[in-house]
Chains A and B, each alone.
Chain A
């Protein structure tokens, strides 16, 4: 259940931004969470519902962007989409790959009034 820690970190970042902008609440928060980032969305949603109560994010609209996995094969230089950390290169079947997208875990923006 590391998702709770992730939500707590998001609240911390949101709090900091709200304080700087002299806002008491956040209307919208945009998150980027890659499909290979290791976040289980049902656990994340559950943690979110409980954790944001009485915080600046309590009524915030949540926009979640989920970039898919992309890798470059280190053997044949082919770029390909992957849905797990152990997907082989579809061309040469190698596991010598470099993952270039899908592990993002970022707060992109917040909207305040």
Chain B
């Protein structure tokens, strides 16, 4: 059992709102509890921590190879001195991505999920204990490259950013709707390759909007730098302004 957050399976909750029906010595207990209850509780706890410290937390999700780490490297380098960054890297194996982020001079921690296909709020909770992000900083969580599983797991983030690249199919939002449905921003990366691939960017945007009409979309190329200023403006607009007290 985890002594800090009491997250193990032998945890005992008391609820007074349960109804018990007895039928021939059998008892039916109305549970009515969300299956992801435990994850959601810890996610809210993380969210409270971020709010208290005025930290902007973003959860970056995508399929493997769409350029999450490259986008981060570029962002951390270009906005160095303007914003304070910390990064949590999630991968099944290796510290390769954390090493790349570390090379930009940014504080980073790596979570290896082993066989796990997603990060959950509990992993983030413990990563934060080691990372101790500063007040008013921006925390990027780079999730495991997977467009399916991470969709269900709230980590306590303020915004979820889904990244797709033009070397993928323009029907990706329809094939993996849950991820696009739960995100607030979609970044279409590698736009410098558009002349060489059959990717129809208008169709991709249309498909993304079909799944989530509230989704914002920004087109970027980490190689040419095109569109990055728009992403930086978006990012800066989300940084919470510290409230003056007294």
| A17 x B26 contact (CB < 8 A) | no
- B153 adjacent to chain A (CB < 8 Å): yes
- A10 adjacent to chain B (CB < 8 Å): yes
| Interface set, chain B 12-48, CB cutoff 8 A to A | 12-14, 25-39
Can you spell out 9 A-B residue pairs with CB atoms less than 8 angstroms apart? Answer: A2-B152, A5-B116, A9-B38, A28-B28, A95-B213, A96-B213, A107-B31, A107-B33, A109-B29
Q: Which of B130-138, B173-181, B188-196, B224-232 lines the interface with chain A?
A: B173-181
Q: Size class of A's contact patch? A: 35 or more
Residues of A within 8 A of B120 (CB): 5
| Interface set, chain A 13-28, CB cutoff 8 A to B | 13, 15-17, 19-21, 23, 27-28
- B83 adjacent to chain A (CB < 8 Å): no
| A12 x B9 contact (CB < 8 A) | yes
Residues of A within 8 A of B28 (CB): 28, 109-111
- Within the complex, the shortest CB–CB distance from B13 to chain A, in Å, comes to 6
B interface, by DSSP: helix, strand, loop or mixed? mixed
Q: Which residues of chain A have a CB within 8 Å of any CB of chain B?
A: 1-2, 5-6, 9-13, 15-17, 19-21, 23, 27-28, 31, 38, 84-86, 88, 95-97, 105-113
| A11 x B9 contact (CB < 8 A) | yes
| B10 x A13 contact (CB < 8 A) | no
Residues of B within 8 A of A9 (CB): 35-39
- Within the complex, the shortest CB–CB distance from B95 to chain A, in Å, comes to 23
Give the total of B residues in contact with A, Cβ under 8 Å.
Answer: 42
CA distance A99 to B31 in the complex (A): 24
CA distance A21 to B39 in the complex (A): 24
| B26 x A111 contact (CB < 8 A) | yes
| A86 x B13 contact (CB < 8 A) | no
- B205 adjacent to chain A (CB < 8 Å): no
| A16 x B210 contact (CB < 8 A) | no
Knowing A84-B177, A86-B174 are in contact, say whether A111-B29 is a contact too (CB < 8 A).
yes
- B217 adjacent to chain A (CB < 8 Å): no
Residues of A within 8 A of B12 (CB): 16, 19-20
| A112 x B27 contact (CB < 8 A) | yes
- Within the complex, the shortest CB–CB distance from B144 to chain A, in Å, comes to 11
| B9 x A95 contact (CB < 8 A) | no
Residues of B within 8 A of A28 (CB): 28
Q: Which one, A6, A27, A85, A97, contacts B178 given CB within 8 A?
A: A85
Closest chain A residue to B180, Cβ basis: A85
List 19 extra interface pairs beyond A13-B33, A21-B29, CB under 8 A: A2-B117, A2-B149, A5-B149, A9-B36, A10-B35, A13-B35, A16-B13, A38-B148, A38-B178, A85-B178, A86-B177, A86-B211, A95-B213, A106-B32, A107-B31, A107-B35, A109-B28, A111-B28, A113-B26
CA distance A86 to B172 in the complex (A): 12
Residues of B within 8 A of A108 (CB): 30-32
Residues of B within 8 A of A12 (CB): 9, 11, 38
| A19 x B10 contact (CB < 8 A) | yes
